[in-house]
Chain A
Amino acid sequence: MRGFSSAKRILSLTPKQIDELILAGADRLLARATNARLLTAQTLTKRLRRVTEKYVLRHDPAAAAATINGFLDGLHADELCLVMACEQGDQTAWSELFEGYAATVRSAARVSSSSESMADDLAQSIWAELHGLKAREDGTAAGKLAYYSGAGSLGGWLRAVVGQLAIDQHRKQAKVVQTEEDSELDRLVLSEAEPDGAHAFQTAASPEDLLAGNMAAADVEKALGQAIAELADEDRLLMKLYYFEGLRLREAGAVLGVHEATASRRLTRIHGEVRQRVEAILMKEHGWTKSEASRSLAEVAEHLQTEVEPMLTGKADATLRSSPASG
């Protein structure tokens, strides 16, 4: 173990080496950009250093030079130069940014808003946030553009910004007016207000009531939650995306960066793992045999199946396609 640490220490890059890598990466980035917008490598270095710390060194302090270079070379050079030029007050860059991404902002605002007027207000707020209403110590505007790293596309970043801003605005409104509107944003805000999720649990309390009368069902449910928590992060995320977020397999696979077929195979494998874990937990906590645990799990599933069946048949394929959470 000591040898491994020493080797890791030897392989770790020194800050000076990292600076050199970043400087070289800035040069390459400017060389890749079709329009460097009079930016220099020195100008970019500070930004790239911060970005590298955030996305590489924080998660892998012993990252190799190749990893850093690979990350720097994967940055969106043109869009990062555009954003940095905007930060430096380049009006031409601002014009290009607005012309190029006004439609993106508008589209994201429509998705996050319930009306056109709200979407317009949200879009205006975004541009204001991007430009920055406050000034930093050096006199430059403290806009949200400073948080763009170039790791993702500028359009994707703008959509994420619009989404987060929409949640913030909705949260503020929810604090003033206790709306009863049942929407996804409401759920987000409420869960944020009550970190323990008690309210959300109460909204879906009816199934629990159904299970409460049956001790075996409660035991199975508890074991199921424990088994899911013990899954690997990727598997747990897939289960959450499919069953909690109601994504289709293709969409869940897209979030994970895998093909639909791969996601399907993974889900089948996870089902087996969950079953084994649930049975193991039941056997361990209740002293059941494997056959007893399997029979108990099957009985609970059959009981739930009879409850869920009318609902599933009533919604036909729509239920199958959508998530159980949303259905």
Chain B
Amino acid sequence: MLNADKTLTSGMTSNDKQIDVLMRRYAKAAPRTSVSGHLDADELSAFAEGSLPPATRAGYVSHLADCDDCRKQASALAISSGAVVRTEESPSTVVSGRSFWQILAGLFALPVLRYAAFAAVLLMVAGVAFVALRQSRQSRNRSGMIAANEPVNQQRESAIKPPAELQEGSRGNKQADTDTRPAPSPPPSAGNDQIAKAETTTKPAEAVAGTGLMKEAPPAAPITAEKKPAQGEVAQTAPSYAPVPPGDVVTQKKQEDYREAQTRSGISGPRQQQQKLDADKFGQERERDATKDVARTDDLARKSGAPASVAANQPPPSPRRAMDEKAKGPMRNMENNSINRNENLGRVEAPKTTSTGGSDRAATEEAPQTRSAGGRKFRRQGAAWVDQKFKASMTLKSVSRGSDAFDDLDSGLRSIAQQLGGEVIVVWKGKAYLIK
């Protein structure tokens, strides 16, 4: 109330103030008037409570405007009867009783739209300012993109690099690391050690876990540690938006080819479970490859004069890839190391062989070390395929292909033997068979 009166006073124009002053003085000086026919108590209370018909009320209003006595009583009754509270609450009830269209029309009323227009202007200004600031910020970021990209490369490099603990930690880890890069071939061994190492080459996770057999493996040369600074230099000197060097293009192509080969083979990692059918499909091709590899290994052994056992234990090299690796030189080899290590983490490594000479360390050969046949996994051990379920404690039963004993074997076992070719050690119904 006080606020409303103050608002009225402060919101008055100069003309209104003049009338207000005149009225105040006139009210003090004006004589009190009273007309005949005062309202009785029932009429006054009915008027004060607003319960009269409009025509009746209009007549009473006319009387009250002229009769000071009745007006005084009526105003006192209206105030005491709570009419003030009723009129204060009435706007809310009016609002709540309005229809949807009335409310909608109220939203677009001029008194509301003037505020809405002001708010819209504010929003537009804020939007323009936001866009302008954002563009300027983007331009600044673009100018500092070279510096901004270096940490990204370094981070990527650090992701490639194994942690120091992994590099200098357990020997098992080192052994696993050697499996993922072209390193000197492990020394030949025979018997159970060969089988165990074959497992480590195809199961990096197990190798990381560390087994007793793995401890016998020599520590791998820190090739990765030697070559990473060079890669770091490349990453630091070559911004991300720089064109890819030709050598990298070749490397990328090789990497893609290798990835494609891995995908096609589907013999390792989680994809193996999903792509069993693909593995069976390409089983025949792999059998032919294996046969060729065996023959190639024998030739190399004869040429180098190395013992046949050593040659047999070496994975079959790929002459073409070996030549490529030589042509690329050590730098190329370093890149391949990092790429292969990155790609082969958790994957099946291609057979990595070196030529008999130490200078041919870069001439690594990648060939499938594991195969699947008949729903089983086989590891290459020399020229033989060994069932993963095979244990050293098992007694091998030797069976020759084409013999009667071979014909007596289960069809599934025979199918596996035919798919893999060569010497195959298969664990079938708890028994180990050496099929030649």
Segment of A20-28, A33-41, A155-163 engaged in the interface with chain B: A155-163
Question: Cβ of A241 < 8 Å from any Cβ of B?
Answer: yes
Question: Cβ of A288 < 8 Å from any Cβ of B?
Answer: no
Number of chain B residues whose Cβ lies closer than 8 Å to a Cβ of chain A? 72
Q: Chain B CB within 10 Å — which of A59, A192, A205 has the most?
A: A59
Secondary structure class of chain A's binding surface, majority of residues: helix
* In contact, B77 and A240 (Cβ under 8 angstroms): no
Known: A156-B77, A250-B4. A221 touches B51 (CB 8 A): no
Contact flags A108-137 to B (C-beta < 8 A → 1, else 0): 100100000000000000000000000000
Question: Cβ of B52 < 8 Å from any Cβ of A?
Answer: yes
Question: Cβ of B392 < 8 Å from any Cβ of A?
Answer: no
Q: How far is the CB of B210 from chain A (nearest CB, A)?
A: 86
Secondary structure class of chain B's binding surface, majority of residues: helix
Q: Chain A CB within 10 Å — which of B72, B73, B79, B83 has the most?
A: B72
Among B50, B68, B80, B90, contact of A244 (Cβ-Cβ < 8 Å): B68
Question: Cβ of A45 < 8 Å from any Cβ of B?
Answer: no
Contact flags A275-302 to B (C-beta < 8 A → 1, else 0): 1001000000000000000000110111
Q: How far is the CB of A252 from chain B (nearest CB, A)?
A: 8
Question: Which residues in B have their C-beta under 8 angstroms from that of A211?
Answer: 25, 29
Q: How far, in angstroms, from A200 to B84 measured CA to CA in the complex? A: 30
Known: A241-B75, A249-B4, A317-B2. A160 touches B44 (CB 8 A): yes
Known: A163-B76, A197-B33. A272 touches B15 (CB 8 A): yes
Segment of B34-42, B121-129, B258-266, B304-312 engaged in the interface with chain A: B34-42
Question: Which residues in A have their C-beta under 8 angstroms from that of B32?
Answer: 187, 191, 197, 200-201
Number of chain A residues whose Cβ lies closer than 8 Å to a Cβ of chain B? 97
Question: Which residues in A have their C-beta under 8 angstroms from that of B40?
Answer: 147, 160, 164
Question: Which residues in A have their C-beta under 8 angstroms from that of B59?
Answer: 59
Question: Cβ of B46 < 8 Å from any Cβ of A?
Answer: yes
Question: Which residues in B have their C-beta under 8 angstroms from that of A56?
Answer: 53, 55-56
Question: Which residues in B have their C-beta under 8 angstroms from that of A251?
Answer: 1, 75, 78-79, 84
Question: Which residues in A have their C-beta under 8 angstroms from that of B88?
Answer: 250, 259-260
Contact flags B50-94 to A (C-beta < 8 A → 1, else 0): 111101101101101110110111111111110110111011000
Q: Which residue of B lies closest to A76 (CB)?
A: B51
Question: Cβ of B21 < 8 Å from any Cβ of A?
Answer: yes
Q: How far is the CB of B366 from chain A (nearest CB, A)?
A: 89
Q: How far is the CB of A181 from chain B (nearest CB, A)?
A: 17
Question: Which residues in B have their C-beta under 8 angstroms from that of A157?
Answer: 41-42, 45
Q: Which residue of B lies closest to A201 (CB)?
A: B31
* In contact, B41 and A271 (Cβ under 8 angstroms): no
Q: How far is the CB of A146 from chain B (nearest CB, A)?
A: 10
* In contact, A153 and B53 (Cβ under 8 angstroms): no
Question: Cβ of A170 < 8 Å from any Cβ of B?
Answer: no
Known: A191-B68, A255-B75. A204 touches B4 (CB 8 A): no
Question: Cβ of B295 < 8 Å from any Cβ of A?
Answer: no
* Listed A/B pairs (6) with beta-carbon separation below 8 Å: A55-B52, A167-B69, A211-B29, A247-B79, A308-B24, A320-B9
Known: A152-B47, A254-B84. 5 other contacts (CB 8 A): A148-B42, A201-B31, A243-B24, A254-B78, A260-B87
